[in-house]
Chains A and B, each alone.
Chain A
Amino acid sequence: AGEKKPGEKAPSEKKPSKKKPAEKKPAEQKTGQKEGGEKKKKVKRHHASRNPVLARGIGRYSRSAMYARKALYKRKYTAPETKIEKKKKEKPRATITKPVGGDKNGGSRVVKIRKMPRYYPTEDVPRKLLSHGKKPFCQHKRRLRASITPGTVLILLTGRHRGKRVIFLKQLATGLLLVTGPLAINRVPLRRAHQKFVIATSTKVDISGVKIPKHLTDAYFKKKRLRKPKHQEGEIFDTEKEKYEITEQRKTDQKAVDSQILARIKQVPQLRGYLRSTFCLSNGVYPHKLVF
């Protein structure tokens, strides 16, 4: 009964489509075009299933019987692939060899390009990647102690300028603090200092109007080193930068910043002498008891 219905429908549907062009002209053109287009694209209307259903999921005829009923022996459109053709076919690369550093490591590893999934929908929750939650350094959160604000006098604790009192300017992108002596007062140039190795005093200078040049970034202060071993072992120690030379740009930047700050330092009595002095501990002085 199911087979007959589509058969009936086909001629009955065609009749009303033929009647329509008599009624309206623009509709006629559209449907006429549609019919023609339909006839060209669609080869045939799809036959209903030739395999009646006995129960859900179970058909009346077997696979081979269906093959015959659907006349698939007539419907072969491509020749089967020969073995030679199969061998010649270019497959996409599955693995890649990558070089590996270190001693006695074998030099290289074979790595899969397309890796096995780490989550199958039958598992409860997708397993997290090993690198989950691990950000690269450039995306780390930078924190600054509340006691350190622009204009605070800091005491440097490490480095060649240890013990010197210095003025804080701003925090750079990597989290290091940009700091200046000023140079004329205690020979500390525009320099980076680490927050952890610094004591923040409660003495502050008003630096609100001071303009710090924008090109003073981490890249500006980064140490430059030659890393190209052109020569062999003989001359390693000569080619790399032995002496640090102060560039003219550093001098002009130093002047530009310091001139603004020195004016403000002069306004506070005794501050200049304070910045010139160094911090030291003596008998009976305990850092945990001092108020900075």
Chain B
Amino acid sequence: VFKRFVEIGRIAFISFGPHAGKLVAIVDVIDQNRALVDGPCSGVRRQAMPFKCMQLTDFVLKFPHSARQKCVRLAWEKENINEKWSATRWAKKIAAREKKAKMTDFDRYKVMKAKKMRNRIIKHEMKKLQKMPSKKGKKPEKAQKSEKVQKTQK
């Protein structure tokens, strides 16, 4: 049922507070609500942090409990957590959300035009496939959709 556990070395994403949006490694557990946390490669000093503001990720590092920052850093860089993180869908969604919020009026216009064009193409293909009543329909439709996704990511 639960796949991600709070353990020494678990990488967590901070969801709110002064360090919102950064990754930290759990170094030690203080009590039921707090953990000793350190993020040498993400700009978070070693400190106590409540579990409530942490969201566990899939990544775990290997270091002994209460290891010093140098060890945490070594483990972090060895596993290349920063790159792995930015490759996850979670991080990509966050980045997309940020981009959307920063869109200027001109950008919104360009997105609108791109979406319009994409939908037109999709509809066109759909109509074509609806006309020929055969099983070939569904596969080419999906392939074309993935092409158009690249355009809208501008």
Contacts and interface: CB of A to CB of B under 8 A. Distances in A.
Interface in A148-205: 153, 155, 165, 201-203
A203 B113 contact: no
Contact of A274 (B101, B102, B103, B109): B109
Interface residues of B, number: 9
B110 interface: yes
B106 A273 contact: no
B105 A279 contact: yes
Contacts of B104: 201-203, 291-292
B110 A292 contact: no
B109 A292 contact: no
For the residues of A in contact with B, the DSSP-based class is: mixed
A291 B101 contact: yes
Contacts of A291: 101-104
Contacts of A279: 105
Interface centre among A153, A203, A291, A292 (most CB of B within 10 A): A291
Interface residues of A, number: 15
A270 B104 CA distance: 14
Contact of A277 (B101, B102, B103, B109): B109
Nearest to A268: B106
Contacts of B106: 153, 201-203, 270-271, 274
Interface in A245-292: 270-271, 273-274, 277, 279, 290-292
Contacts of A290: 105
A273 to B, nearest CB: 7
B110 A201 contact: no
Interface centre among B101, B105, B113 (most CB of A within 10 A): B105
Contacts of B109: 270, 273-274, 277
B22 to A, nearest CB: 24
B105 A201 contact: yes
B138 to A, nearest CB: 32
A3 to B, nearest CB: 100
A270 B110 contact: yes
Interface in B102-133: 102-106, 109-110, 113
Interface string A194-218: 0000000111000000000000000
Nearest to B108: A290
Q: Which 6 A-B residue pairings sit nearest by Cβ, starting from the closest?
A: A203-B106, A201-B105, A274-B109, A202-B104, A292-B105, A274-B106
Interface of B: 101-106, 109-110, 113
Interface of A: 153, 155, 165, 201-203, 270-271, 273-274, 277, 279, 290-292
22 contacts: A153-B105, A153-B106, A155-B105, A201-B104, A201-B105, A201-B106, A202-B104, A202-B105, A202-B106, A203-B104, A203-B106, A270-B106, A270-B109, A271-B106, A273-B109, A274-B106, A274-B109, A290-B105, A291-B102, A291-B103, A292-B104, A292-B105
Given A270-B113, A274-B106, 5 more contacts: A155-B105, A201-B105, A279-B105, A291-B101, A291-B104
